[in-house]
Amino acid sequence: MADSRTRRALVSVSDKTGLAPFVKSLVELGFEILSTGGTAKHLQSEGIDVVDVSAYTGFPEIMDGRVKTLHPRVHGAILGRPDLPSDAAALAEHGIEPFELVVCNLYPFEQTVARPGVTPEEAIEQIDIGGPSMVRSAAKNHAYVGIVTNPTQYPRVLEELQSGGLSMEFRRELAAAAFELTAHYDVAISQWFAKSSRGEEGDARPYFPGVLHLEFRRQSELRYGENPHQMAALYSDPQPAPSTLAAAEKLHGKELSYNNLLDLDAALGIVREFEEPAAVIIKHNNPCGCGVATAAADAFDRAYAGDPVSAFGSIIGLNRSVDLATANRLCEPDRFIEAIIAPGYDADAFELLITRPKWKTNVRLLRLPSMSHGRDHAPALRSISGGLLVQERDDEEDPRDDWEVMTKRSPTDEERRDLAFAWKVGKHVKSNAIVLARGQSLLGVGAGQMSRLDSAHIAAHKAGERAQGAAAASDAFFPFRDGLDQLARVGVKSVIQPGGSRGDEEVIAAADEHNIAMIFTGRRHFRH
C-alpha cells in the first residue's frame, strides 16, 4: 500500500473472540477502523474509536440489519486495484477509500440449527449474506486486501504487519481459508434445507442427495498407507460425534498408522455392541478374540484366550476404563500390543502400561470417554475407482422379536446368550463369516473366505476341541447343508443365521439330524 493512503480495516464479525486486543493493535499500527452494528458497539465498549459503515457509505442499515454492507462504496473499497489506472480513476471519481484489511466471520448458522426446537424462521435469519460477499470479495482481491476470517489468524496477521506487511504467500493462505469458510457455510445451509424439506418423518430415513457435498479436515499426515510405498493422511469430520474414533484422544505412544486406525475403528465397532464389560482383540480388521464378563480384566482374559497366537501385535478395544487388574493382564510377558482404545485409564494402570512392558514407549493409548453413547448417524462411505458408495451404517441392534427357532430343539438359556454374543461379533467379521463362541468368549473365526464352507473349516480349526458344545453364528444363510454338517462334526450345538436360502429346508433338516438348535434372525450382516 502506498504511504500516502490512510490504512483502513473493515471489521464485521459474529465471533468476537480476541477481537478487541487485535483491533487495538491495528489502531496502534495506524489503521482506521470501520465497523457495523454489534461489532461497532463491542469495539466502542472497549474504548476503540470506529467509523460506522453507514456513515462511510452515506446509507443507513435497513430491514433490521439485513442490508448494511451491500453497497458499492464497501465492495469497491474491497475489490479495487489501486495500481490499475482504470480502478484508481473509479475509486477517485466515487470517493471510495480502499481497505487494506477485511476482518469478517459469519453468522452462527450451524450452531443455531443445532439447537433443539429451533424454528425455520430463526434458522433463516442466521443465513449471512453480506458477510460471505465481503469475504469472497476480499479473498478474490487478496493481492491488495488481507482477508482475516478466524481469531486464530490474528497473531500472525499482526506479526507480519509489524514486520512491514502481509507477504503474498500469507495472503494466499488467508484467501484459501476464506473460500473454505464460505464453501463450508453454503454446504451447511444447503444440507439444512434438504433435510428440512423432507418433513418430520424424514429424520428416520436415509437421505441420498442428488449432489453429495463432503467436507473433512486433515487431522494428520501419516507415515505411509497400508504399505510403505503408499502416501496417506487422516481426515476427520469438522465436528465428529463424541463416540467416534475421530474424537478419540491419543494419550501416549508412537504416531498412529493407517492400519492402526482401521483396526482401532473395528475394535470400537465391536465393543460398543455390548452393555456389559467387553474386550476385543483385532488383527487385520477382524476379531481374533472377544469376551464379555462382569469385570474388564476377566473380559480381556476371555478375549485373549480365543487365539493367543494371533493376538501378538494386535489392537485391543475395551468398553470400560482400564484398571490396574486389566493393565496387569495386558502387561504379562510375551504379549505385544500395538494400540489400546478405552473410555479411560486409571492413573496406576496408565503408569504400568507406559513403564513395565518392553513395548512401553511404543504402545498407542487412546481415550474415548463417550464410545458407547449413541449411534454414529453419519453414512458409511467407501471409495471405488471413479466414484463413492454411500450407505447407512450397519450399527443398529437387531430386533430380537424377529428371531425364530426353526428346529425341533430350542436353544437353552445359556445357548441363547452365546448365540446373541456370537451374532453381535459376527456382524463385524469380513464375509463370508463364521463365528464360534461359548461362555461369552470367542473361540474361532472364519473370515473373508470365498466359500462359507471354508469359513466353517477355519473357525472349527481355530476353536479345536473347544468347539464341543459351542454356538455358531453365520453372517448370511447356509446355501447348502455342508457348512452345518462341518460345524456338527466338531461339536457345535446351536446355530444362529439369517435364513432365506432356497436350501433352508435341507439345512433345518440337517440341524434336526444333529440335534442342533437353530435360530433364524431374518437379517443378514455381510461385511465386504
Q: Contact, 291 vs 300, CB < 8 A?
A: yes
Query: What Rg value do the Cα atoms of the chain yield, rounded?
Result: 31
- Residue 328: is the preceding peptide bond cis (ω within 30°)? no
Q: Contact, 31 vs 7, CB < 8 A?
A: yes
Active-site residue, 284 included: yes
Closest to 59 measured CA to CA, from 43, 49, 73: 73
At position 184, the amino acid (one-letter code) is H
Distance CA 172, CA 60 (A): 33
Q: Contact, 500 vs 475, CB < 8 A?
A: no
DSSP label at residue 62:
B
Distances (CA, A) of 442 to 27, 404, 456: 68, 23, 14
Neighbours of 262 (CB within 10 A): 16
Distance CA 33, CA 9 (A): 5
Q: Where are the alpha helices (DSSP H) in 94-231?
A: 109-113, 120-125, 130-140, 154-162, 168-196
Phi, psi torsion values for 390, nearest 5 degrees: -130, 130
Catalytic residue, chosen from 24, 71, 284, 360, is: 284
Distances (CA, A) of 507 to 19, 409, 432, 468, 499: 72, 14, 17, 20, 9
Show the cell assigned to 484: 452345518
Q: Using CA atoms of 350, 352, 353, 358 in order, give the dihedral in degrees to the nearest 10.
A: 160
Closest to 484 measured CA to CA, from 499, 475, 472: 472
At position 454, the amino acid (one-letter code) is D
Q: Contact, 371 vs 292, CB < 8 A?
A: no
Show the cell assigned to 224: 505411509
Active-site residue, 24 included: no
Containing H/E element for 92?
helix 85-93
Distance CA 255, CA 260 (A): 9
Cα angle value 232/255/307 (rounded, 5°): 95
Cα angle value 5/6/11 (rounded, 5°): 130
Catalytic residue, chosen from 24, 71, 140, 254, is: 140
Distances (CA, A) of 515 to 323, 444, 518: 43, 21, 9
Q: Give the catalytic positions in this structure.
A: 140, 284
